[in-house]
Every structure is written in C-alpha cells, then in structure tokens.
Amino acid sequence: MVKAAQSLKELVDNWQDVEQKVNEITELEHQGDTITHKIAAQLHRTFVTPFDREDIAQLAHTMDDVTDFIHAASDAMLLYKVDPPGQRVKELAGIIVQGATEIARAMPQLRHRGELKQILKRCVELNRVENMADRVYRSALAELFADSTDIAHIIKWREIYEHMESATDRCEDVANVLEGVAIKHG
C-alpha cells in the first residue's frame, strides 16, 4: 500500500514513462491482492488469532481497497491519456502517501497491548489527513469546473479525483478498524 502510494506520487510529480510507472502500480496492486488472499486463507486455518478475526479480515480488505483506488487513479490517467497532472493531483497524491505511511506506522503497534493506545493517536492523524484530502478534493472539483469547458477533460479528471479521494476515505476506514481493535483490546 505504501509503495503504491509512493509510486502514484512519483507518477504525478514526474510525468514521464507513464505507462511503465502505471504498470509498476498495477504489479503492486496484484501483490496486495495476493497478500490479502493469503491473510484470508491463514485466518481460515488458524484457531486462535491475536484479536478478532473479523477485524483482521476487515483491516486486510480496507488496506487492499486503498491500493485498489491508487491503482484505479493511475490506470485512469493512462487510459484517458490525460495532460500532466496539476497541483491538486499532486497534493492528493501526497496526502495518500501520508495516510498510507501513518497506517504502516500503526500496524506494528498491534503486536503489543501496551502500544494499542498509541494507535488511537494514529487514528486521529488519519482522520485529519482524510479531512485535508476532502478539502483538496472539493477545491480540485471547483477549479476543474471553473477553469474548463471541455466536457471530456472534466469527466476524466473528476473520475481521477474521485479515485484519489476514495483512497483517503479507505485510509479512514482502516483507522476506524484500528480504533475498534485498540479500544476492545487496549
């Protein structure tokens, strides 16, 4: 998830070798799917889990969803042959990296009951990051509709913005699961 987020940021910041970079994100998305399937299979084979198996499954699926939306955004950029991304796309990509990185920092804390309270702080940060993404997303849409009369351009970028904003929404969903685990077991 973090690698996919960083790759998306690299794609929008350095708009060269677009097809190769999107292929790399596609491969990372496939790797994420494989990990998610392995987690599901392991859950079915494991009798005792460190915390609720539903929470483990939900964490895996929502983290995979983040990667799926990162992939969807980058894939749409390639398929639609869009112009180089503007400032708002770059801001959203940076916010996605922040969210994914914060999740990655929280995950090891699940191993130690004494660190579960720290997860709550990470959840607050993830909510802040998602709120920031909402503001950038609204500004991006407002600018898109104010600055362009090209309907095809508007449709393409609106979809890309939606995928990127959905990635941050899924980061917040991960935070909600993490918060539940921290409260139940902390």
How far apart, in whole angstroms, are the C-alpha atoms of residue 19 and residue 131? 31
How far apart, in whole angstroms, are the C-alpha atoms of residue 128 and residue 122? 10
Q: Which helix (H) or strand (E) holds 95?
A: helix 87-106
Whether 65 contacts 96, CB under 8 Å = no
Name every residue whose Cβ is closer than 8 Å to that of residue 54 and which is 6 or more positions away in sequence.
Answer: none
Average pLDDT, the chain: 94
> How do the pLDDT tens digits run along the chain, 186 residues long?
999 999 999 999 999 999 999 999 999 999 999 999 999 999 888 877 778 889 999 999 999 999 999 999 999 999 999 999 999 999 999 999 999 999 999 999 988 888 888 999 999 999 999 999 999 999 999 999 998 899 999 999 999 999 999 999 999 999 999 999 998 886
The CATH-assigned architecture of domain 2-185 is: Up-down Bundle (1.20)
For the chain, the domains span 2-185
How far apart, in whole angstroms, are the C-alpha atoms of residue 180 and residue 186? 10
Per-residue pLDDT of 18-34, as tens digits, reads 999 999 999 999 999 99
Burial of 7 (0-12, 13-18, 19+ CB in 10 A): buried
